[in-house]
């Protein structure tokens, strides 16, 4: 059995078989693959899939930033409270501090 060259792998149009004539359902504007309406629908689906993940990431970044800000504020309050306790002491005669 020998291999035939050509004739079987190019498809029917390459062998000279005419394509379908007329305007079938798949040939109407706006419905075929690669039409502008199809591309718009694909973009809409992709946006619907990606947008929730993107919003979750952005809200998560805001939440982490708020947690860091809260931690810094708490550390500052503790530092100020400790300083006040050290400067004034429990038995201090001057409630406004030294000097």
pLDDT tens for each residue of 32-59: 556 666 778 888 999 999 999 999 999 9
pLDDT tens for each residue of 17-29: 666 665 555 555 5
Q: What is the mean pLDDT of the chain?
A: 77
Please give the residue that has the higher pLDDT: either 80 or 3.
80
**DSSP state string for 2-45:** PPPPSSSSS-TTTTT-----S--GGGSTTTSTT-HHHHHHHHHH
**pTM for the structure as a whole:** 0.49
pLDDT confidence bin for 80, thresholds 50/70/90: very high
- Among left, alpha and beta (phi > 0; psi -120 to 50; other), residue 28 is beta
pLDDT score recorded for residue 41: 86
Counted residue by residue, the chain has a size of 99
Kindly state the percentage of the chain with pLDDT values over 90: 39
């Amino acid at each position: 059995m020998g291999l035939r060259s050509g004739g079987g792998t190019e498809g029917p149009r390459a062998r000279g078989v005419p394509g379908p004539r007329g305007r079938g359902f798949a040939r109407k504007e706006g419905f075929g693959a690669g039409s502008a309406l199809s591309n718009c629908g694909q973009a809409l689906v992709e946006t619907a899939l990606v947008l929730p993940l993107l919003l979750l990431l952005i809200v998560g970044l805001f939440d982490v930033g708020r947690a860091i800000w809260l931690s810094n504020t708490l550390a500052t309050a503790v530092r100020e409270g400790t300083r006040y306790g050290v400067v004034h002491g429990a038995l201090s005669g001057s409630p406004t501090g030294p000097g």
